[in-house]
């Protein structure tokens, strides 16, 4: 049977690692893939970040590249930067956006001789092109609770998601919480891990603090879901610890910057993260309790496990299968005690690594491929 070719509506290819990118790059080994860079979940605002993003989109407009230069993708993988209206709200705007997007994609499909593709939609606002591209099936892959996600037009996305759930042939989610929320016979595909990358021994990063003190580390977006107040109370009592944060900062971290033992290192390429997580004393998941975190299945959980170091986390549902391998805390006093335990027992734990050794992205992609065959 011929593998179904894919048109994927996701975030910008090559941006922060996502489960859509991880799965699709494995599925692309046996099929043609047209990756459509983000068509947006909200209308742009007049601020520096949005203006910069619009300018980048304009520079790349109507271009296509076979693959991102830092990512290994099959030769039959095309990335396009479409001209469209981000998250249109009115009937007219949605009509114009649909015509613009389908016109551009039809030319690409004709050029690559792709017929009867499967639409893979990770952004609900792409629902308007369903039925316009001669697709054989529609997959909705949901990794976020869009009702709780910051930075989106919730009303617009909700309308689009409801429409998508009605027309999708297959609904996949990344967590049991999302599966229960969406219904519609949704199927959970847990996130995977690049096990070889995070478990194979690597050299220590040169900018990791080297002052003889234990180090607690976190990587990922430093956003509103990070519990800054919890960290502030803990750090204030541990001047003999280093606290390292890697990632883009979008939250107010002024309460943490007052401490001399806090290091914000900025973003790092994904492949460099083991140089940190394998060598600091303990990995942190200091999240708030909210709907967004309740539905999340963070990449870094399995990556931390593959690295083998002690892990301290606030509680959320995705931790349940690994609760015996993670020190779960609910207060500053509990985190202080957990850090002391980590200091006393900081070593590479083979049990943590064994827990995720068979949860690779390749395995997850094979699960998805089997479900696609049923379409």
pLDDT digits (tens, 9 = 90+) for 87-130: 666 778 788 888 988 999 999 999 989 999 999 999 998 999 99
Q: In Å, how far are 25, 135, 204 from 74, measured between CA atoms?
A: 7, 22, 31
What confidence score (pLDDT) does residue 153 get?
83
What confidence score (pLDDT) does residue 88 get?
67
Q: Are residues 230 and 295 in the same domain?
A: yes
Tokens for 173? 């989610």
What confidence score (pLDDT) does residue 87 get?
62
- Those residues of the chain that have pLDDT short of 70 are 1-3, 40-74, 86-89
Q: Are residues 45 and 181 in the same domain?
A: yes
Q: Are residues 187 and 199 in the same domain?
A: no
* The dihedral sign for the CA sequence 21, 25, 31, 33: positive
Please report whether residue 253 resides in a domain.
Answer: yes
Q: Which domain holds residue 34?
A: 6-192+360-373
Q: Are residues 242 and 335 in the same domain?
A: yes
Q: Are residues 200 and 348 in the same domain?
A: yes
Number of domains within the chain = 2
* Cβ contact 301:314 at 8 Å: no
Please report whether residue 1 resides in a domain.
Answer: no
3-state secondary structure of 209: coil
The end-to-end CA distance of the chain, in Å, is 12
* The dihedral sign for the CA sequence 85, 89, 90, 91: positive
Q: Are residues 116 and 27 in the same domain?
A: yes
Q: Are residues 23 and 166 in the same domain?
A: yes
Q: Are residues 12 and 94 in the same domain?
A: yes
Please report whether residue 121 resides in a domain.
Answer: yes
145: CB partners within 8 A, 6+ apart:
177, 178, 181, 291, 292, 294, 295
Q: Are residues 54 and 109 in the same domain?
A: yes
Please report whether residue 20 resides in a domain.
Answer: yes
What is the CATH classification number for the domain harbouring 28?
Answer: 3.40.50.2000
Q: Give the pairing of strands 33-36 and 137-142.
A: unpaired
Q: Strand order in 170-173's β-sheet?
A: 64-65, 77-80, 33-36, 6-9, 118-121, 137-142, 170-173, 187-188
Q: What is the pTM of this model?
A: 0.87
What confidence score (pLDDT) does residue 49 get?
47
What confidence score (pLDDT) does residue 74 get?
60
Q: Are residues 134 and 38 in the same domain?
A: yes
What confidence score (pLDDT) does residue 39 get?
78
Q: Are residues 276 and 342 in the same domain?
A: yes
Q: In Å, how far are 2, 105, 130, 214, 352 from 115, measured between CA atoms?
A: 12, 12, 15, 57, 45
Query: Among all chains, which residue has been given the structure tokens 């929320």?
Result: 181
What confidence score (pLDDT) does residue 17 get?
83
What confidence score (pLDDT) does residue 76 get?
87
Condensed to tens digits (0 to 9), the pLDDT of residues 244-283 reads 999 999 999 999 999 999 999 999 999 999 999 999 999 9
Q: Are residues 343 and 249 in the same domain?
A: yes
């Amino acid at each position: 049977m011929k593998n179904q070719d894919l048109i994927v509506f996701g975030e910008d290819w090559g941006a922060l690692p996502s489960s859509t990118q991880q799965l699709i790059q494995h599925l692309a080994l046996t099929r043609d893939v047209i990756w459509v860079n983000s068509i947006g979940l909200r209308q742009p605002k007049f601020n520096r970040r949005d203006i910069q993003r619009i300018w980048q989109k304009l520079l790349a407009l109507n271009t296509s590249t076979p693959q991102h230069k830092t990512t290994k993708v099959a030769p039959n993988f095309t990335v396009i930067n479409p001209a469209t209206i981000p998250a249109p709200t009115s009937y007219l705007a949605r009509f114009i956006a649909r015509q613009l997007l389908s016109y551009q994609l039809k030319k690409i499909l004709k050029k690559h001789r792709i017929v009867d593709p499967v639409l893979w939609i990770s952004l609900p606002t792409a629902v308007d092109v369903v039925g316009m591209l001669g697709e054989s099936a529609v997959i909705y892959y949901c990794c976020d609770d869009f009702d709780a996600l910051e930075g989106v037009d919730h009303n617009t996305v909700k309308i689009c998601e409801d429409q998508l759930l009605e027309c999708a042939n297959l609904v996949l989610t990344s967590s049991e919480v999302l599966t229960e929320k969406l219904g519609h016979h949704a199927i959970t595909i847990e996130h995977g891990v690049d096990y070889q990358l995070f478990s194979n021994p690597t050299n220590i990063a040169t900018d990791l603090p080297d002052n003889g003190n234990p180090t607690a580390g976190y990587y990922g977006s430093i956003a509103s879901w990070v519990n800054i107040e919890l960290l502030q109370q803990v750090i204030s009592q541990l001047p003999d610890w280093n606290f390292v944060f890697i990632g883009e900062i979008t939250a107010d971290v002024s309460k943490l910057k007052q401490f001399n033992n806090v290091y914000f290192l900025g973003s790092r390429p994904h492949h460099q993260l083991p140089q940190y997580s394998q060598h600091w004393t303990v990995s942190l998941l200091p999240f708030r309790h909210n709907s967004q975190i309740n539905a999340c299945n963070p990449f870094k959980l399995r990556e931390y496990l593959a690295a083998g170091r002690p892990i301290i986390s606030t509680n959320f549902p995705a931790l349940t299968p690994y609760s015996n391998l993670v020190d779960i805390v609910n207060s500053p006093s509990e985190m202080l005690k957990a850090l002391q335990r980590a200091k006393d027992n900081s070593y590479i734990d083979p049990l943590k690594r064994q827990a995720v050794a068979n949860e690779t992205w390749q395995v997850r992609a094979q699960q998805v491929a089997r479900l696609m065959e049923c379409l």
